[in-house]
Chain A
Amino acid sequence: MKTLDYILPFTNEIDDGVVFQNPWHSQLFAITVQLSETGNFSWKEFVEFFAKSLSESRLELNSLDGNDDYFNCWLIALEEIIISKKLGNSNILSLLKKDWTNAYLTTPHGKPVKIKQRSI
């Protein structure tokens, strides 16, 4: 199907019909859908977290453009619902983020980036 490719004046961006603008957007989307479909939370519950995150970010940023900032809010909502449902805690999420950061900074360019197994 042909997609509309005119510039929308009110967003001043090209609507190119691309579904996900960044791979982490699609990954975040898929993780959330899978967690919901396997019964860890209902979609309605997730939407409550997400709406709260969007509204808090809006106060901070004034206006969200629906791209990275939208998925940043989605990410905050997913982190919060994971913690709320006790699927993980903020400490382990911070440690794992640190592990990945160190792995990227110490893995030679071109080699696969891996982290050591951590007991969770």
Chain B
Amino acid sequence: MGINKENKSEYNNDHAHSHLPSDPELRVKAIETLLLNKGLIDPKTLDELIDTYENRIGPQNGAKVIAKAWVDENYKKRLLNDATSAIRELSYQGRQGENMVVVENTTDIHNVVVCTLCSCYPWPVLGIPPTWYKSDEYRSRTVREPRKVLSEFGLNIDSKIEIKVWDSTAELRYLVLPLRPDGTENMNEEQLSELVTRNSMIGTGLPEISK
């Protein structure tokens, strides 16, 4: 980051004072000080929020939803009919998961999810979006040339298969139900959930049978 480097060269000639943080870091500190003084934020809650999304909520939640849908036909029907309620059955709910829609991959259709507006993403089942999901490249090109973007993820979709792009919003978030891989008939739900990658639930990957 340019600002950081400039600060370093300008101020690090002697080490008498503390390292000066970058411009955005200082602005975040200013916001934090303002809101703490006004009693609008609580440092403990901030720490808990960060810990939750760094360590506890992530694609492992979504993987359990997908694995259950693969082994339980009734659950799958509920999931496709009312995803928010079906996901809540596994106790995954809350912020940015209030209105969920699950789209099913078939032998004829491959689904892929994007947010063209910013980076709307189903936090309860996938956690915080990866950097590439937030990039302009992904956000703009996925709608325009999905097949090419997927190929850049190493995912070459047969030209006979239709690719459907779903644009998540602040009010509606999509999750892809990938096809259950062949040769997994003897696996139980837990083993199956290990095959489900984050990208397979966004549509930029497939379940990984070799895992």
CA distance in complex: A111, B38 (Å): 26
Indicate if the CB atoms of B17 and A108 lie closer than 8 Å: yes
Indicate if the CB atoms of B27 and A31 lie closer than 8 Å: no
Q: How many residues on chain A are close to B (CB under 8 Å)? A: 71
A-chain residues with CB within 8 Å of residue B138 when the two chains form the complex:
10-11, 66
B-chain residues with CB within 8 Å of residue A47 when the two chains form the complex:
117-118, 120, 170
Q: Which listed residue (B20, B32, B59, B131) contacts A27, Cβ 8 A?
A: B32
What 0/1 readout, one digit per residue, does chain A (70-112) give for beta carbons within 8 Å of chain B?
A: 1110010011001000011000111011011100111111110
B-chain residues with CB within 8 Å of residue A105 when the two chains form the complex:
11, 17-18, 20
Indicate if the CB atoms of A2 and B211 lie closer than 8 Å: yes
Indicate if the CB atoms of B30 and A106 lie closer than 8 Å: no
CA distance in complex: A19, B15 (Å): 32
| Interface status of B78 (Cβ within 8 A of chain A) | no
Q: Which listed residue (B18, B141, B154, B211) contacts A113, Cβ 8 A?
A: B18
Indicate if the CB atoms of A107 and B17 lie closer than 8 Å: yes
| Interface status of B26 (Cβ within 8 A of chain A) | yes
Which residues in A have some Cβ–Cβ distance to B below 8 Å?
Answer: 1-4, 6, 8-11, 13, 15, 17, 19-21, 24, 26-31, 33-35, 37-38, 40, 43-44, 47, 50-51, 54, 58, 63-68, 70-72, 75, 78-79, 82, 87-88, 92-94, 96-97, 99-101, 104-111, 113, 115, 117-118, 120
Which residues in B have some Cβ–Cβ distance to A below 8 Å?
Answer: 1, 11, 15-22, 24-35, 37-38, 40-42, 45-47, 49-50, 53-54, 58-60, 63, 95-96, 117-120, 127-128, 130-138, 141, 149, 152-154, 170-171, 194, 197-199, 205, 208, 211
